[in-house]
Structure 1
Amino acid sequence: MNLLVTGGAGYIGGTVSRILLAAGHTVTIYDNLCHSKREAVAPGATFIEADIADRPRIEQTLREGKFDGVMHFAALIEAGESMQKPEIYFRNNTASTLTLLEAMLATGNNKLVFSSTAACYGEPEKTPILEDATLKPTNAYGESKLLVEHILGWFHRVHGFRYASLRYFNVAGAIEGYGEAHEPESHLIPLILDVALGRRESIKIYGSDYPTPDGTCVRDYIHVSDLADAHLLALQSLEKQTRAIYNIGSGGGFTVRQVIDSVSRVTGKQIPVIEEPRRDGDPAVLVASSEKIKSELGWAPRYAELDDIIASAWKWHQQRYVGKTS
């Protein structure tokens, strides 16, 4: 297939692009590099440095590319920042995606896999969360993605637009030669690995009084390569179905302290901790049920253990910073 990957110089988009190329697909990456670098672009991909808010440029790209489908990752992703600057999340994540969708309609491109989020659910009424659970985001990031899902629903209803929306939770791990490298970094596992490498003195825990086993937030973790598999399956499914919404997760949750303990086991390093107050908009528990995509598309994660996910990230982290391989 010939595919357009927006945000393809990021962590998830970059991983998916590499896996697609390795499987023999043709990939065009469209990214403004606002949180990445040119070196993150997958070798073998065509690269266009531009913003999806640029309607003439994205429309030209879609018209000339003759794509079989679009995978849309381009977005701002920091829930905490979204509670300080909600306006930039609605501009970048919602309004810019609308521009992309309008351009797709104008150029006859009718298949999209959308990188959504479990933050659409907010505080779940029960876990693991099913796809038909109440959608009540507790932060502007989740709301910005949910608004896109609403837009997609109307585009499907009115224009027959085909799409799959994947709501995933915390993505982690690395593939050979490529891993998580946000600028600046704010995700838990790479931050803890920085402590293990001596690049940071400690890790901060935001909130230790949640109604969870040890008082810290519980999250679901999925390996980035398993997520890539889900994206390809979802795109292929749009040949037969016209609309799909799937959770992608491991089905089990881990507290922040359990993640820290896992990193300590994998690396053999002690991880100093500093406790901070809760952050606005952080749900206590987010754990997904992925039974729907397993039963409908045959998706099966290859990384079932948190230690294995972290071990792949640790290998990448060492290669990235100190040139070691184990």
Structure 2
Amino acid sequence: MTDTWLVTGGAGYIGAHVVRSLQAAGAQAVVIDDLSTGDLRRVEVPFVEGDIADRELVADTLRQHRITGVVHLAADKQVAESMRHPLAYYRRNVFNLMQLLDAMAQAGVAKLVFSSSAAVYGMVDSAQVREDHPTQPINPYGETKLIGEWLIRDQARATGLRFAALRYFNVAGTAAPELGDLGRSNLIPMVFDALARGDQPVIFGGRHPTPDGTCVRDFIHVQDLADAHVAAIATLDSPGAGHVFNVGCGRGYSVREVIEMVAEVSGRSIAPLVGEARPGDPAMVVADTAHISATLGWRPRHDLREMVRSAWHAQPQQLSAAQS
């Protein structure tokens, strides 16, 4: 792979892993990030500081670096926050994508890998969800991701854009301590944060229609997710390419099970508190990964224990980075 890819949000947790996977595959990478949540110390490739809402900046970057395609990760992603501030989510996740697509058309860049989400499915009534399952998001975050898929599909019909939309499930773990998740919105970092403060973690809702009453999610190691981006890129050489893939492990774990794994890996005694369910949270979402496996030959290589173990051992570096 000798192409050059622009990674929006490439200074972030997932973005930094994607950049390294691109480099490992022989591609060049350029990062554009406004550093609102990203960390510049993660970036070891050409870097442009800026917002993708700046269409001219993005178009100039695409031309100057002779970009072949874009991996679009930059977005807001917290479900609860999207319920409180829907307009901000539509602005950041929908309007900014429109600006990006416009800049790509202006610069003649016709390949895109899009960071979508399992949140597009909403409430799921089956053990596993396939890509052709009805998309009925129940929170503004999921709605913005579904609208993003529609925008890309329609732009592809109009311009010949080739794309792959990856519907992420719950991302965890790290491939290297310095690339760990600095945020505290995902479950495993939230549990670590509570332990660091000497508190017991809070489970949001204990009466969901699941085996133990807590939400069930499909967790995917961030390195496996990054590798899925590289695999998806290989599908974009064919004219008219347009794909949607679930990216998960195909196995669900309840929130309580994840906390028990954290206790086992860390050697800590954890007695979680059960609070109120959060609005906009579906009870269960687990991926059917048959499509991505058959099409790309991609399969996850890491289990939940490795996700928790790698994240736990990254804590000292993450805490140092967050405090500096």
Give the alignment of 1:134-283 within 5 angstroms: 134-183=134-183, 185-196=184-195, 198-240=196-238, 242-283=241-282
Which amino acid in the other structure matches residue 92 of structure 2?
Answer: N
SS at match of 2:63: helix
Which amino acid in the other structure matches residue 28 of structure 2?
Answer: T
Deviations 1:180-208 (A, max 9, x none): 3344x111101212344x33412111110
- Preserved contact between residue 180 and residue 190 of structure 1 (Cα < 8 Å): no
Give the alignment of 1:92-103 within 5 angstroms: 92-103=92-103
TM-score, with length taken from structure 1: 0.94
Shift of 1:271: 1.9
Which amino acid in the other structure matches residue 6 of structure 2?
Answer: L
Map of 1:5 onto structure 2: 7
Whole-Å separation in 1 of the counterparts to 2:274 and 2:163: 41
Shift of 1:141: 0.2
Which amino acid in the other structure matches residue 306 of structure 2?
Answer: D
Q: Indicate the larger mover: 19-28 or 200-209.
A: 19-28
Specify whether residues 200 and 9 from structure 1 end up closer, same or farther in structure 2 by C-alpha distance, changes over 3 A only: farther
SS at match of 2:131: coil
Specify whether residues 85 and 200 from structure 1 end up closer, same or farther in structure 2 by C-alpha distance, changes over 3 A only: farther
Whole-Å separation in 2 of the counterparts to 1:271 and 1:109: 50
- Unpaired stretches in structure 1, ≥5 consecutive residues: none
SS at match of 1:262: helix
TM-score, with length taken from structure 2: 0.94
Alpha-carbon RMSD? 1.5
Whole-Å separation in 1 of the counterparts to 2:315 and 2:102: 39
- Preserved contact between residue 192 and residue 271 of structure 1 (Cα < 8 Å): no
SS at match of 1:186: coil
Whole-Å separation in 1 of the counterparts to 2:257 and 2:26: 38
Whole-Å separation in 2 of the counterparts to 1:83 and 1:25: 38
- Preserved contact between residue 195 and residue 271 of structure 1 (Cα < 8 Å): no
Which amino acid in the other structure matches residue 73 of structure 1?
Answer: L
Deviations 1:207-236 (A, max 9, x none): 101000111000000000000111011011
Whole-Å separation in 2 of the counterparts to 1:200 and 1:131: 41
1:21 alignment partner, one of 23, 43, 66? 23
1:315 alignment partner, one of 293, 313, 316? 313
Whole-Å separation in 1 of the counterparts to 2:181 and 2:144: 23
Give the alignment of 1:105-144 within 5 angstroms: 105-144=105-144
Deviations 1:12-41 (A, max 9, x none): 011111222244321100000111232232
Map of 1:52 onto structure 2: 52
Specify whether residues 97 and 208 from structure 1 end up closer, same or farther in structure 2 by C-alpha distance, changes over 3 A only: same
Specify whether residues 37 and 200 from structure 1 end up closer, same or farther in structure 2 by C-alpha distance, changes over 3 A only: farther
Whole-Å separation in 2 of the counterparts to 1:239 and 1:307: 36
Shift of 1:322: 7.5
Specify whether residues 34 and 200 from structure 1 end up closer, same or farther in structure 2 by C-alpha distance, changes over 3 A only: farther
Which amino acid in the other structure matches residue 239 of structure 1?
Answer: D
- Preserved contact between residue 4 and residue 28 of structure 1 (Cα < 8 Å): yes
Whole-Å separation in 1 of the counterparts to 2:265 and 2:134: 37
Which amino acid in the other structure matches residue 169 of structure 2?
Answer: F
Map of 1:79 onto structure 2: 79
- Preserved contact between residue 177 and residue 313 of structure 2 (Cα < 8 Å): no
Map of 1:89 onto structure 2: 89
Map of 1:306 onto structure 2: 304
- Preserved contact between residue 25 and residue 230 of structure 2 (Cα < 8 Å): no
Q: Percent identity?
A: 43
Specify whether residues 146 and 199 from structure 1 end up closer, same or farther in structure 2 by C-alpha distance, changes over 3 A only: same
SS at match of 2:207: coil
| Aligned length, in residue pairs | 318
Whole-Å separation in 2 of the counterparts to 1:137 and 1:314: 32
Which amino acid in the other structure matches residue 276 of structure 1?
Answer: G
SS at match of 2:112: strand
- Preserved contact between residue 180 and residue 318 of structure 2 (Cα < 8 Å): no
Which amino acid in the other structure matches residue 69 of structure 2?
Answer: G
1:38 aligns with 2:32: no
Which amino acid in the other structure matches residue 265 of structure 1?
Answer: E
SS at match of 2:14: helix
